[in-house]
Amino acid sequence: MTSFARSAVTAVLGPTNTGKTHLAVERMCGYYSGTIGFPLRLLAREVYDRVVRLKGEAQVALITGEERIVPPNARYFLCTAESMPLDREVGFVAIDEAQLGADPERGHVFTDRLLRARGRDETMILGSAALKPLVRALVPEAEVIERPRFSTLSYAGAKKLSRLPKRSAIVAFSAEEVYAVAETIRRLRGGAAVVMGALSPRTRNAQVAMFQAGEVDYLVATDAIGMGLNMDVAHVAFASLSKFDGRRSRRLTVAEMAQIAGRAGRHQRDGTFGALVEEGPGAFTPEEVYAIEEHRFPTLDFLYWRNGTPDLSSVPALVASLEARPQGVELRAAPEAIDLKVLKRLSDEPWVAERTRTPVGVARLWAACGLPDFRKLGVEPHSRFVARIFGHLSEGDGRIPFRWFAEEVARLDTVAGDVETIAGRIAAARSWAYIAHRADWLADPLEAQARAQALEEKLSDALHERLTQRFVDKRTTALLRTIGADARHLPVEIDAAGEVTVENHPIGRLDGFRFTVAPDARAGDKRLLLAAAERRLSGEYAARAAALVAAPDAAFTLADSALQWAGATVAWLAPGPSLSRPLIKLDRALDCLDKPARAAVEARLGQWIERETRRLTPVLARLDLLARDETAPGALRATAAALGEAGGIADRATIAEVEALDPIARRFLRDLGITVGTLDLFDPRLTKPAAAAWRAALLAVRGHVTSLPAPGATVVTGGGPLAGFRRIGAQQVRVDLVERVARAAHEARAGRKPFAPDPALATSMGITADSLAKLMARLGFAPVRGDTPQWTWRGRPKLVSPRIEKPVRPNAFAALAELGIGRG
């Protein structure tokens, strides 16, 4: 297909569902002749069937690697990009999904078609808007037309397989993953259709027909559906966001995600997309969601290129021309494809060199190397197969023996085995279909094509049957409707994960005490199903309340003021009379319980809070008791109350009453575990990870949000305030370490004489010299000028005016005797 000076070139670019392919078909049908190159055999077949309905079988041809339907007077050719007849002059030419020129494996084919394939009257380049700058650079004469998407594509969040809406397509990126997802859908939803690029058109069409007819509401597919296959899909769910691209496992690009997600919603119907998980590598990032919804993707910087008209004068010349470097920054040499790898492998064989002394022999070898590796065997096994093909093509009459062809086809002619076995036979049969459609390779190509087609149809029907048997459960919700309005006869089951089912049909979930109706339950069935569920759930609620009351302490957790049991929120903490005594507010989901059950649940949760507070932060309970002891001195009670409300760690300057404590009161605080430090009052046990987390949770109930340090952290640079840390310059230092530095400094000094504290202590903690200087100043030391860092004591700054209290009576703390503190 040569270039024509007057040929109009138009690039129609935009996201999915913009009608680009539909436009190209309409334009082609308006001309006397035309050709469209597609990225997939399935898509070529789909459009072929459509054009046949418009123009009739006699005028339409289908050319792919494994299928060749070419009537004598065909004028319209629907092809895969690799199979486009470039030597045929037609009025219209289109290249679909031209952005695939950036694909490492097949990109050079699409780039070649973009550069060389031209129609006599009109050429159309279809693709993503990301291709625009490269079209401008490589085809400057092209008129660029950008088309908006017909419908809105929006992110619907993460949904588990059990909660996906009907008319959903779940996309996976390996046959194993497709089968696993389809099996799960069968168990949860009754069945799913399966679509993969490796399926024959016959199998694929049969599977899609089930989905389109509503026999199944779910479709499980590979990314093959991203290339323009039109199906009635409302939602696309990604089972994962990574794929193996032939060289490595990598995350999908945003453009690839959008190409697949764009299958949701057709024409004027809006569509949604999402993942199966909310977090982790399988979840969408906010940036990816924004880019997909707004159709904003990075533009392509280059396309892969390989010489489309290689030198066939000799094998070395052929290899050299195939490895030639392109000119310009817009093109990049394509990675070595399997056809070139096989060529290099066979060129080392002496017998191959002997048979490729002429351009005809080189052309035959290169044609044999073009046989795709349908079975995905790899270079060495595939090279041996190609070598046998070339051996026949280069000896005798230059044709493959029909007997060998027939024996190999007959060997595959069995439908025994499971899905994987039959799919493997179809992959092998594709090689023989490809060979059969090379008219110059067989003495009787028509007979070979008939046998290959019959084999593929037979295996395809068997594969469709196996897929249906394995992944479709014909039982539907019709059972529920035929049972009548008496819900008592419907068997309701609740599995360990909380899924509530009737006759294996999910009707909702029970998380803790909260029942959520399945979002896809039909309005006509909902009352019936809920009535059945209500009878079963009333007893389940009572059983769960009894299980909660009897549960061990380890079964409960506290997260952001939410009390959780068995993974579900059952209550919330609210501010109580003190930090260690919060109020418990049962979650509204527990309104389903009667009053005695609610009271028992509330009492059990209160018991757990009290036990955990005594276990993890015992000082908080003791401070609360001391603050309420009327026999204790006022200064001590005030100090205990203030320190308790601060969670057992407080800046000394914020508690004025501490300066009025006499030695007996101070000793009593020490017996409680509290350090009356130079700068802070604290219980060092509260810096332990578990205690710090519980303290932070209690403080959060009263609106004091504190950040927790990393486990084992002692000194942190920068960041927001951390629980149990004091900011010193650019660093935050744990309060007990601040006190250790203070004590070491006082122990090292002799009155007010200059002294040099041991720097090793601060260094071992990670305190910088600048932070240490600021801390020393804060502790009441002044620097002394000199060659070595020295300090002198200037006296601790007065924080507050001390208040004098009356002597403490010995029995003032009798109320605390039960707790066993203040003794020893």
Backbone dihedral angles phi then psi of residue 615, each to the nearest 5 degrees: -80, -45
Whether residue 771 sits in one domain with residue 738: yes
The span from the CA of 614 to the CA of 819, in Å, is: 10
* Residue 455 resides in a domain: yes
Q: Over the stretch 156-193, which tens digit does the pLDDT of each residue have? A: 999 988 889 988 999 998 888 888 898 888 877 778 89
* Beta strands in 234-367, from DSSP E residues, in sequence order: 235-238, 242-244, 249-251, 271-275, 303-305, 331-333
* Residue 610 resides in a domain: no
CATH number, domain containing residue 16: 3.40.50.300
Whether residue 620 sits in one domain with residue 583: no
Residue 790 confidence (pLDDT): 84
Q: Over the stretch 694-751, which tens digit does the pLDDT of each residue have? A: 999 999 888 887 788 888 888 888 888 888 999 988 889 999 999 999 898 888 888 8
Residue 528 — pLDDT band, cuts 50, 70, 90?
Answer: low
Whether residue 241 sits in one domain with residue 197: yes
Q: Does residue 809 surpass a pLDDT of 70?
A: no
What number of other Cβ atoms are within 10 A of residue 255's Cβ?
20
Of 642, 631, 639, 645, the C-alpha closest to 669 is 639
The SS3 assignment for 73 reads coil
Residue whose token pair is 């048997």: 469
Out of 432, 456, 471, a domain closes at 471
The span from the CA of 1 to the CA of 31, in Å, is: 16
Looking at the chain, the whole-number percentage of residues with pLDDT higher than 90 is 42
Whether residue 398 sits in one domain with residue 285: no
Q: Residue range 674-690: average pLDDT?
A: 90
| Angle, in degrees to the nearest 10, between helices 201-212 and 445-471 | 40
Backbone dihedral angles phi then psi of residue 428, each to the nearest 5 degrees: -70, -40
Whether residue 19 sits in one domain with residue 162: no
Residue whose token pair is 């601040």: 738
Q: Does residue 435 surpass a pLDDT of 70?
A: yes
Whether residue 488 sits in one domain with residue 386: no
Whether residue 190 sits in one domain with residue 44: no
* Residue 806 resides in a domain: no
Q: Does residue 665 surpass a pLDDT of 50?
A: yes
Tokens of 116: 């060389």
Residue 295 — pLDDT band, cuts 50, 70, 90?
Answer: confident
Out of 471, 502, 537, a domain closes at 471
Q: How many domains does the chain have?
A: 5
Lowest mean pLDDT across 342-346, 779-783, 786-790: 786-790
Q: Over the stretch 331-372, which tens digit does the pLDDT of each residue have? A: 999 999 999 999 999 999 999 999 999 999 999 999 999 999
Residue 16 — pLDDT band, cuts 50, 70, 90?
Answer: confident
Residue whose token pair is 């068995």: 566
For the chain, the maximum distance between any two Cα atoms, rounded to a whole number of angstroms, is 122
Pairing state of beta strands 34-38 and 92-95? parallel
* Residue 657 resides in a domain: yes
The span from the CA of 764 to the CA of 737, in Å, is: 11
What is the identity of the amino acid at 203? Answer: T
Residue 823 confidence (pLDDT): 35
Whether residue 741 sits in one domain with residue 673: yes
Whether residue 693 sits in one domain with residue 659: yes
Whether residue 164 sits in one domain with residue 134: no
* Residue 684 resides in a domain: yes
* Residue 1 resides in a domain: no
Whether residue 417 sits in one domain with residue 290: no
Mean pLDDT for all residues in the chain: 85
Residue 810 confidence (pLDDT): 38
Lowest mean pLDDT across 69-83, 240-254, 398-412: 240-254
The span from the CA of 294 to the CA of 390, in Å, is: 51
Lowest mean pLDDT across 358-367, 599-608, 748-757: 748-757
* Residue 461 resides in a domain: yes
pTM: 0.57
Residue 409's domain comprises 303-471
* Residue 31 resides in a domain: yes
- Asked whether the beta carbons of 549 and 601 are under 8 A apart, the reply is yes
Long-range pairs for 660-665: beta carbons < 8 A, 24 or more residues apart: 660/635, 660/802, 660/803, 660/804, 660/805, 661/635, 661/636, 661/805, 662/633, 662/805, 662/807, 662/808, 664/808, 665/633, 665/635, 665/636, 665/639, 665/805, 665/808
Whether residue 399 sits in one domain with residue 253: no
Residue 822 — pLDDT band, cuts 50, 70, 90?
Answer: very low
Sign of CA dihedral 381, 387, 392, 393: positive
